[in-house]
C-alpha cells in the first residue's frame, strides 16, 4: 500500500524505453510513478486492456519489472477477469500503470466490469494511477483518439477523475496538436493539458503540481480556450534523473 494517501495521477506520453537486456525497460517516468507512491518496495499492477490484454506485452512488463526488482502483476479482463475482487486487488498495489491502445475499448470494458468504480476507490485511497497514451487519456474528460479509425476523432466519455481534456503524442503525430486545439476552440473539449512524447503530468487530487520529462528538451502544455481562440502555453517541464 502507498504511504502518501493523497490521490495521485501521472498522465504521460512515455514511461517505457528500450532495455539493454530486455525488450522494454522502465523509463524515468515509470520510475517516477513508483517514487510517487512513497513505498519502500512498491508493487505495480499493469492493465493492458487497451491492447486486449496482449500476453506478450504483459510478459515484457513483468520482465522489465523483474530487471529492476519491482514485482509486476497483470490485471486481465480477457477472457474474464483473472481475480475475484477487482477493488481488493487494486488496493493491494502501490502503482497502477495502464498501457496504450484503444481508449474507447478500454473505457467500455472497464465500465462493463465495474473497474471504473474500483479504480476511483483505489485513487481515493492513494494508489498512484499512471499510464501512457490511452492510459493517460482515460483519467481525463476526453481528448483525441484513433480508437475508431486511422483518422483521429473526438472522445468525451473519459473517467473524468481529472476535470480536463488531455492531448497525447503532441509532437510525434502531426494531426494531434491541431485537432486538440481546434476541439478546445470549438468548446467540444474542456481546457486541458498536452504532453509531447517522453513527458508527463503529475496531479495531486485534481490539481496539476508539475510537468516532468524523461527526454531532454521535451515539453508539456496548458491549452485553454479564449473566446474563439486557443491560448497554448508551455509548462515548466522538469527533467527527471536518468532522462
How many residues are given for the chain? Answer: 243
Cross-strand partners of 143:
155, 166
219: cell is 515539453
For every residue of 156-175, DSSP letters joined together read: -----SSSSEEE-STTTSTT
From the list 31, 93, 140, 169, the catalytic residue is: 169
CA distance 104 to 153: 11
CA distance 121 to 115: 10
| One pLDDT digit (tens) per residue for the chain, 243 residues | 334 479 999 999 999 999 998 999 999 999 999 999 999 999 999 999 999 999 999 999 999 999 999 999 999 999 999 999 999 999 999 999 999 999 999 999 999 999 999 999 999 999 999 999 999 999 999 999 999 999 999 999 999 999 999 999 999 999 999 999 999 999 999 999 999 999 999 999 999 999 999 999 999 999 999 998 999 999 999 999 988
Respond yes or no: is residue 41 known to be catalytic: no
From the list 133, 136, 147, 190, the catalytic residue is: 133
Respond yes or no: is residue 133 known to be catalytic: yes
Q: Is the pTM of this model over 0.85?
A: yes
Amino acid at each position: 500500500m502507498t504511504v502518501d494517501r493523497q490521490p495521485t495521477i501521472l498522465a504521460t506520453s512515455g514511461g517505457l524505453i528500450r532495455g539493454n537486456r530486455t525488450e522494454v525497460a522502465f523509463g524515468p517516468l515509470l520510475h517516477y510513478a513508483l517514487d510517487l507512491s512513497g513505498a519502500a518496495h512498491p508493487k505495480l499492477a499493469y492493465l493492458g486492456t487497451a491492447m486486449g490484454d496482449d500476453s506478450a506485452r504483459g510478459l515484457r512488463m513483468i520482465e522489465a519489472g523483474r530487471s529492476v526488482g519491482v514485482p509486476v502483476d497483470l490485471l486481465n479482463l480477457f477472457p474474464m477477469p483473472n481475480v475475484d475482487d477487482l477493488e481488493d486487488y487494486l488496493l493491494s498495489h502501490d502503482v497502477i500503470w495502464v498501457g496504450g491502445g484503444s481508449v474507447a475499448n478500454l473505457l467500455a470494458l472497464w465500465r462493463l466490469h465495474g473497474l471504473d468504480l474500483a479504480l476511483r476507490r483505489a485513487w481515493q485511497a492513494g494508489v498512484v494511477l499512471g499510464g501512457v497514451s490511452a492510459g493517460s487519456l482515460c483519467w481525463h474528460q476526453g481528448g483525441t483518439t484513433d480508437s475508431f479509425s486511422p483518422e483521429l476523432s473526438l472522445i468525451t466519455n473519459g473517467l473524468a477523475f481529472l476535470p480536463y481534456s488531455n492531448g497525447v503524442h503532441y509532437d510525434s503525430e502531426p494531426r494531434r496538436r491541431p485537432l486538440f486545439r481546434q476541439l478546445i476552440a470549438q468548446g467540444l473539449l474542456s481546457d486541458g493539458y498536452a504532453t509531447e512524447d517522453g513527458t508527463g503530468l503529475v496531479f495531486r487530487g485534481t490539481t496539476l503540481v508539475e510537468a516532468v520529462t524523461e527526454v531532454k528538451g521535451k515539453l508539456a502544455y496548458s491549452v485553454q480556450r479564449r473566446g474563439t481562440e486557443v491560448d497554448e502555453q508551455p509548462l515548466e517541464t522538469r527533467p527527471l534523473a536518468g532522462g
